[in-house]
Amino acid sequence: MIFELNSDQAMLADAARRLSEETLAPILSREPADAPLPKAAMLEIYGHLADFGITAARLPEEFGGSGLSMLDYGLIMEQLPPVVALSLLSHDGSTVRFNAGADPGVRETYLAAFREGRKIICTANSEPNAGSDSNTISTRLEIEGDRAFITGTKMWITNASICDCMIVSCSAGNDDHGRPVPQRVLVDLSQSRVGLHETALAGLKQGHLCEVTFDRTEVPVTHLIGSPGDAGKYMTVVWNANRPLIGLMALGIARRAYNIALAHVTDRRQFGAPLSARQLVQQDLSDMEAALTSARLTCLMALATLDTGARSNGLSAMAKRLATENANRVIHLAMQLCGGMGITEELGLAQLWADARVFQVPDGTQGILALIHGRDITGTAAWR
Ligand SMILES: Cc1cc2nc3c(=O)[nH]c(=O)nc-3n(C[C@H](O)[C@H](O)[C@H](O)COP(=O)(O)OP(=O)(O)OC[C@H]3O[C@@H](n4cnc5c(N)ncnc54)[C@H](O)[C@@H]3O)c2cc1C
């Protein structure tokens, strides 16, 4: 067991840090901080991500994927601006969901553009009445000859307002138990009409989260992907990697808060000495460092486990829950250590808090992640 990055990993992480600081951050800072980034800016960002080789990190190499290990992908992801990392996670995961089972002609038409970051793709699964219970979708798929029609509403869809294509989970009818049979369908927004309504969030304000409506949205039947019923399987495959990756994103934000607090308590003097010399302050710093380190190692362990091909459902769920919980706690302590300054806008801690908080919901809420982990521990699914 080696806890040091090897030289290749150190170079990769350093290159990602430079990409982030020298290329991506200037694009983000030239746009308003409190509004979704324009599509042109996102395409510029995707161009840089493609040059770096991470727009299709999880795509099998035989289809032109990067061949990156999930561990290395995690080391890169934790360096990226979180708003970019979350968008990329959706794009990259959706490329996997598209590729697995796409009609060869349709794959030929779209895959290179997704891989090269020229077109952005996302996944629309959640609905007003299907959130944690993601299988209870009611968006309807009707097939008439060589055309298919989609009717329904999707909620909280990352990338929807800047994407070119969506993988939409539709119900292709009910099984013998009356449950929807989920079917993946590719919707090309240049050919099919959908309604888009941006949802304002408390954090990650430059990101994109949409309600999407389908009113007999028409697609060719060749855009149906895989077989009826397999949509859930590909959601889970992608979620298992997304969860520790999201954990690392949240921890990256918390690390920034920790650094701000550390600088503050080193400079700030009260009762005749720097705050950092006080026992209780040092205990807070120790708690913060322990929370960051333990959660980061758990996320990296989950990614390394995925690389071995072993089952990681419980571990990935545990990693995301621990990381997002710890990130929240670290930022809370950072704000407290900064006293009045901690709750001003000047230090930016409140925004970091809101940004990190967002990550406690997508790809599994804290409660659902505990239940997934609990199922692995006990062998019993407790959510039904
Ligand atoms: C930033 C962001 C990005 C997102 N991106 C996407 C996307 O790209 N595509 C997409 O399809 N969706 C996306 N989502 C939606 C996300 O997957 C859902 O919000 C999430 O699954 C939770 O669903 P919900 O909001 O309906 O909450 P609910 O399911 O209503 O849950 C509310 C609360 O009840 C708890 N709860 C639910 N069931 C149980 C149970 N059985 N036992 C105990 N507690 C329970 C939950 O833990 C939670 O705390 C995104 C959401 C966010 C915030």
Return residue ranges of the chain for CATH 2.40.110.10.
121-228
**Distance, CA 368 to ligand 1 centroid (Å)?**
8
Q: Which residues of the chain have pLDDT under 50?
A: none
128 CA closest ligand 1 atom index? 26
- pTM here is 0.97
Give CA separation, 161 vs 117, 123, 166, 304, 328, in Å.
Answer: 16, 12, 10, 33, 28
156 lines ligand 1 (CB under 6 A): yes
**Residue of 94, 121, 132 to test ligand 1 pocket, by largest number of atoms within 8 Å of CB:** 132
Q: Closest residue (by CA) to atom 35 of ligand 1?
A: 367
- Predicted confidence at residue 383, as pLDDT, reads 82
* 7-115: CATH topology: Butyryl-Coa Dehydrogenase, subunit A; domain 1 (1.10.540)
- Predicted confidence at residue 135, as pLDDT, reads 84
- Give the rounded distance of the alpha carbon of 313 from its chain centre: 16
**Residue of 86, 206, 235, 365 to test ligand 1 pocket, by largest number of atoms within 8 Å of CB:** 365
Return residue ranges of the chain for CATH 1.20.140.10.
233-378
Q: Provide the 3-class DSSP secondary structure of residue 360.
A: coil
* 233-378: CATH topology: Butyryl-CoA Dehydrogenase, subunit A; domain 3 (1.20.140)
Return residue ranges of the chain for CATH 1.10.540.10.
7-115
**Distance, CA 361 to ligand 1 centroid (Å)?**
6
- Predicted confidence at residue 384, as pLDDT, reads 72
209 lines ligand 1 (CB under 6 A): yes
- Predicted confidence at residue 185, as pLDDT, reads 98
- Predicted confidence at residue 129, as pLDDT, reads 95
What residues have CB less than 8 Å from 98, skipping those under 6 apart? 107, 110, 111, 114, 121, 165, 167, 184, 186, 225
Rounded distance between C-alpha atoms, residue 184 and residue 227, angstroms: 8
| CATH architecture for segment(s) 121-228 | Beta Barrel (2.40)
Q: Provide the 3-class DSSP secondary structure of residue 243.
A: helix
Q: Closest residue (by CA) to atom 31 of ligand 1?
A: 132
DSSP letter (8 states) at residue 361: S
Q: Closest residue (by CA) to atom 38 of ligand 1?
A: 132
Q: Closest residue (by CA) to atom 40 of ligand 1?
A: 383
361 lines ligand 1 (CB under 6 A): yes
Contact criterion met (CB below 8 Å) for 382 and 262: no
**Distance, CA 271 to ligand 1 centroid (Å)?**
47
- Predicted confidence at residue 79, as pLDDT, reads 97
Rounded distance between C-alpha atoms, residue 148 and residue 222, angstroms: 9
